[in-house]
Amino acid sequence: MTKLSKLKIILGIIYLLIVTFVTFLFFYYEIYSYVNADFIKNNRQDIFKYLDRHIFFNSFLFLIFCIIWFFLLGFGFPLIIVAGFAFGSILGSILLLLGFAFGSLSLYVFANYYFRDLVFKYFSNKYKNLNIHFKNNDFAYLLFLRLVPGLPSQATSLIPILFNMNLKNYFFASLIGAAPSIFILVSLVSGISSKVEKGTNFDINLLSDPQISLPLAALAIMVLVINYIKKNFFRSKN
C-alpha cells in the first residue's frame, strides 16, 4: 500500500468520524428543538438584540459554520431555518449562499485531490450520461443542477470531478444557481418566524400574507422555469 493510499484511508476515517460526531451532537443535545415555534416566539427579540450588538462577529461566525457544515454534511435545511430566523431574509440569504458556495468548493477541491479515484469508481457509471451536457457547457449545466431544489448537495458537488470542471466555473455556477432557492426558502422561514412571534394562527388565511405567499409563489414559478429549461435545453438525447 502506497503512502498516498494510506493518507486517503486516514483522511476518509477522519472525515467520517467528524460527520458522525457532528450528527451525534445535533441529536444528543436536541439542537433541532431550538428552531421550534415556541422557542422562536419566546426568544426572537432577545436573539435579535444580541445579534445587533455583535452583528459583524456573529455574521462571520455563522458564515464559517455554514462553510464547515456544507463541506461535511451537505444538506442545509437546519441552516435555512437559522438563517431566516436569526438573520432575516437578506443577510441570512447572503451568509448562507456564501457558506454554500465556499463549502461546496472546499469539498470539490478536497475530494478532487485526495479521492478522485473513489469518485470515479462510485459515480462514473451512474452519471456518465451527463457527459454531453458538461462538455457542451459545464457552467450552464452545473448552474441548472444547483437551481433544482432537493437534489443531494454532496452528489452535485462531486459529480463535476468526473468532467474536470475548473474552479472558477464551479464556484460561480454554484453561487448563482443556489441563489434563488436559498433566498426563497430563507425568506419563507423569516416570514413564518415573524408570524409565530406575533402569535398568528397557522391556518389557510396565512397564505394571504405577503411574507408567506410571495416566497411560495416564487418557489412555484422557479419550479416551472426549471422544468422549461430542462425540456428545452437539457433534454436527454437517445
Q: Give residue-wise pLDDT tens across range 140-175.
A: 888 888 888 767 777 888 888 888 889 999 999 999
Higher pLDDT, 56 or 18: 56
Q: pTM for this one? A: 0.78
**Max intra-chain CA distance, the chain:** 65
Q: Per-domain residue ranges for the chain?
A: 8-22+32-233
In this prediction, residue 238 carries a pLDDT of 46
Quick: pLDDT tens for 5-26. Answer: 666 677 677 777 877 887 777 6
**Rounded mean pLDDT, 60-71:** 91
Position 188 pLDDT exceeds 80 = yes
Alpha helices in 115-166 (DSSP H): 116-127, 131-147, 153-158
* For residue 119, pLDDT beyond 50: yes
Element (DSSP H or E) covering residue 183: helix 167-197
The pLDDT value recorded for residue 215 is: 85
Nearest to 13 by CA among 162, 99, 115: 115
| pLDDT score of 93 more than 90 | yes
pLDDT confidence of residue 174: 92
- Average pLDDT, rounded, for the chain: 80
